[in-house]
Structure 1
Amino acid sequence: MTSPRSCSTAGMVHTDSWFPAGRAKGGSTLALVLYSGSLASALAVRLAERAGVRHLRLVYFRSPFFQGEEEVGLQAQNLFGSTRFQCITLKRDFLSLGKRVTGFPFPCGRCRWLLLERVGRLARRLHADLVVTGEVVGRRALWATDLLALERAAGLAGCVVRPLSARVLPPTRAEEEGKVDRNAFLDLEEGDALGDRLRALATKLGIPPSPTGRECLFTDHGFVQRFLEFDSAAALTENMIQLLRFEHSYRMESGARVVVAVTSEEQARLQPLFLPTDIRLYVQMPGSPLALVRARWHEHTPEERERIIADAAERMAEVAELPRAAAWVVRFRCEWEGETRQMRLRVEGHTAPALISP
């Protein structure tokens, strides 16, 4: 069996489309659905069925950037009965997403490329005829030319059927060969009251208008900015991703990470994220904020460590809008020591923070 040809152009690897002529059991067309649990992906499944695809496999990729994944499999079972649902983890691939050079915009273009590239690998292994997605032209700023470029880069040129927007895109190989009925597809694009049209279509096709799909962290602009500011030389872990979800998560000039939890709900979320080498920072007063300070402590002198803690305390006091008098003395505990100590912050007449006895 011949491998796909590939060539490098402008930093991107383009792979020619290569789908073995394959048939599912009984001679029916085999389609892999890139399934997310969203309303759009559920509608794409139903439209593919109406277009004559009888053998579908739903493929869901797990990612540390997706929330609410537990509900997706159950939802698929409720909506599509015996249709096979396959869950595959791509956590390691997603953790390096920010470092990948694909030529596509971050985050949505790069994420779509990864998903298509991985489902393409599976499709070739299973001898599938096509890939079905719930993509809509223009959504997430990915227009027709972008979607076609993505499928070419993933080695799926002409093999990705997008039922919701198929009639504003060139016919795919499956449509040209009569494996699916193009007339069953739609011409939706971003805008044009897209949300209302999707909900109306869902009602018509017997799908709940608001299915419980996974939530992508990259839809939060604040998270995207914090992610891009993350030290690219450092290892990105699932723990760090959770820290980046906090509104008040900062990378300090020293390279330290400071996360400030102001509300009780935020503090409950922050508590389980402390690692043994982190420092816990707070003020001895009712309603005190809680801060997590993370640094490569072994690379700093004792004086530099004190400065890092003091800078973190200043940021915590600023974020929580603490009365200055109350914020002059902060308490902190090194998780690996368990001993609580105190520090007097910079005040008039003092040029540097000073440790004081517990």
Structure 2
Amino acid sequence: MIKAVGLLSGGLDSTLAAKVLLEQGIDVSAINFTSPFCLCTPKNAGCAAVVTAVQALGQIDLKHVALGEEYLRIVQNPQHGYGSGLNPCIDCRIMKIRKAGEYMREIGAAFLFTGEVLGQRPMSQHRQALQTIDRESGLAGLIVRPLSARLLPPSIPEQKGWVDREKLLTFSGRTRKPQIALAERYEISDYPCTAGGCLLTVDGFVRRMRDLMTHAEVTLHDVALLKVGRHFRLHPQAKLIVGRDQTENERLLQLTQRGDWYFEPLDVKGPVAIGRGAFTGETLRQSVRLIARYCDIAVDEQVKIGYHRASETTQQVIAVTALPDNEIQTFRI
């Protein structure tokens, strides 16, 4: 039996691509990539989307691969540029297919397949981009795209008859109607919405990421912090992150590092905050006044804010009034 490895995101397209090949008697295994920028958007349950997809396909073998520092370097300096935000889609795809190719050889599979649809994504799924991905991944000819295969040149698996090209599909463009109809035929109903799954295309996150890349060395820990709270750039070397609710307050506590400043309101309800970078007396005062704005107090009422280095236990306390909204907006990222 011919064996193939599919890139399975848990989304509808990759699930359908696997199903099309399973119907042809192909022995399918899957590889799922996650990154610090994943944005899971399933209908029912978070990142369980890929598990749900595997169940819909009949419990196929699944390998998980977490992308970390290597992917972060690509985000900061993509050879093929960015899409609408900071999404390095072509470079990202090349890296994933290279790694999938390593797994393909490891388990003795004959080819790879993906759920890509010709013309669906403007940066990475037009003909030239697909050719670039195939060539630079080193796997040209060994990648089958079942949903659009009959609109593309025959791959080696099709030429050799490992896959029946006539049973592959001609989906193209951004409409989802053909995929939804095929999902109904396969009785697949629990799949993510179509909004996309990458924080690097989300405007608010992109602003924060650009700011971080401009002012600091970027680490995976910094990326985790970008996902939490309100962010303010007080100075080129000083940044404040303010929690928005109890869950974020607790998450900020978890992400606090040695050398950070830690702020908390005293005697009133309000957010905790982290200050990261080189804080002066002025930036510390701006920070406590900014935090006061989000405390449960009346306008012009004073509030006590305690602050200290995360590595220290001695707390300093200052009573301040809130910074005006128009000043706060000048700092907001």
Of 67, 71, 74, the residue aligned with 1:97 is 74
Whether 1:230 aligns to 2:212 is: yes
Of residues 123, 131, 134, the one that matches 2:104 is: 123
1:49 aligns to 2:22 (yes or no): yes
- Opposite residue 109 of structure 1, the aligned amino acid is I
Q: Which residue is 1:136 aligned to?
A: 117
- Asked whether 1:275 is paired with 2:275, we answer no
Give the count of matched residue pairs. 311
- The question of whether the paired residues in 1 share the 8 Å contact of 2:263 and 2:306 is answered with yes
Tell me the CA shift for residue 205 of structure 1.
1.1
Alpha carbons of structure 1 residues 154 and 289: separation in structure 2 relative to 1, 3 Å? same
Deviation for aligned residue 1:82: 4.7
Identity %: 25
- Indicate the SS of the match to 1:32: strand
- Report the Cα offset of residue 149 of structure 1: 1.4
> Counterpart of 1:242?
224
2:310 match: 335
| Alpha-carbon distance in 2 for matches of 1:243, 1:94 | 17
Correspondence for 1:58 among 9, 30, 34:
30
User: Residue in 2 aligned with 1:152?
Assistant: 135
Residues 156-171 of structure 1 mapped to structure 2, 5 A cutoff? 156-171=139-154
**Deviations 1:303-322 (CA, angstroms, capped at 9, x unpaired):** x5323322333444567797
Q: Pairwise CA RMSD of aligned residues?
A: 3.2
SS in 2 for 1:292: strand
**Distance in structure 2 (CA, Å) of the matches to 1:251 and 1:220:** 19
Match of 2:7 in 1: 34
**Displacement of 1:76 after TM fit?**
4.6
Structure 1 residues 211-251: Cα deviation after superposition (integer angstroms, max 9, x where no partner):
59995433423212322221368453343222111362234
The residue type paired with residue 314 of structure 2 is E
Change over 3 Å in CA distance of 1:210–1:325 after alignment to 2:
same
* Correspondence for 1:189: 172
Q: Secondary structure at the match of 2:158?
A: helix
2:281 to 301, 306, 312: 306
Answer whether contact 2:4 2:28 (CA < 8 A) is retained: yes
Q: Relative to 1, partners in 2 of residues 1:139 and 1:250: Cα closer, same or farther, differing over 3 Å? A: farther
Aligned match for 1:206, one of 184, 187, 207: 187
Tell me the equivalent position of 2:55: 78
Larger Rg computed on CA atoms: 1
Match of 1:175 in 2: 158
- Listed as ranges, the gaps of 5+ residues in structure 1 are 1-27, 298-303, 349-358
Q: CA deviation at 1:57?
A: 1.4
- Change in CA separation of 1:135 and 1:283 when aligned onto 2, cut-off 3 Å: same
Report deviation, 1:332: 1.4
Displacement of 1:323 in angstroms is 5.6
The 8 Å contact of residues 75 and 211 in structure 1, kept in 2 or not, is answered as: no
Letter in structure 2 aligned against 1:190: G
- Could you list the runs of 5+ residues in structure 2 that have no partner in the other structure? 41-45, 324-333
What SS is found at the alignment partner of 1:139? coil
Rounded Cα–Cα distance in structure 2 between residues aligned with 1:167 and 1:251: 51
* 1:70 Cα deviation from its structure 2 partner: 5.5
1:59-99: per-residue Cα shift (whole Å, max 9, x none)? Answer: 12232223568625632542233522122233232232323
Letter in 2 for 1:46: K
